[in-house]
Amino acid sequence: MKKIILSLLLAVSFGVFSQNTAKEVFTSNTIVWYGLNFSKAKMIGQFDQAMGAGAASGADLKNKWIPAWNSIILTEPKNFKIKEAFHKDDVFYDITATEKLNANINSEELMTFNSYKFDDAQKTVKDIIAKLKGGEKTEGIGVTFIVESFNKSLDEAVFYVTIFDIKTKNVLIMERIVGKPVGIGLRNFWAGAVKHVLKQITTDYYKIWKLKS
């Protein structure tokens, strides 16, 4: 049954895959984690805060919750198993470049009650990767989860899992993966969607990418 599921996922995978260079993803022992990138994301629906704080505004999401979602991954590596998902001996965490892009989000345009998706996902992702400037590592394999949307109405988070060459900014692998949020409180609930995506990479997508290489 597991082989059948993997074959089906391989058949319906809509990701971008650079066959000439993606082998680097599987030969490198280390990746650089660039974090969750919300620079082109939309937050769909009402995001209620705990402790009687009421509904989160766009400014709340930008200034408090987006940094919190990135922070929890750094501080709880045992819960967010990036190393295991990407089959690496080590993960170097450096979200500085992503934080700069997230800081430039227009909070007034961040939230909506309408459906949303990238008009041209491949171009959007490539443009975001090209803007990742700075950071301690100037070469190697980078990984970032580019958020398309957190959708409270559907209780789902849509990510473009993107693996790229840090030096050239060439996108090696890009895969759209939907995560189901779970947990108590606004931070943990949506962080649960990240865990779900990592689990899917661990059990299915990494094998698919390796087969394609």
Q: What is the pLDDT along the chain (213 residues), one digit of tens a residue?
A: 555 444 445 444 556 656 447 788 999 999 999 999 999 999 999 999 876 668 999 999 999 999 999 999 999 999 999 999 999 999 999 999 999 999 999 999 999 999 999 999 999 999 999 999 988 999 999 999 999 999 999 999 999 999 999 999 999 999 999 999 999 999 999 999 999 999 999 999 999 999 987
Give pLDDT, residue 16.
Answer: 65
Residues forming beta bridges with residue 164, ordered by sequence position: 142, 171
Give pLDDT, residue 17.
Answer: 57
The end-to-end CA distance of the chain, in Å, is: 23
Cα-based distances in Å from 85 to 22, 181, 195: 16, 18, 10
Tokens of 183: 């947990």
- Domain positions in the chain: 2-212
Give pLDDT, residue 15.
Answer: 64
Cα-based distances in Å from 156 to 37, 43, 141, 152, 197: 16, 11, 28, 7, 11
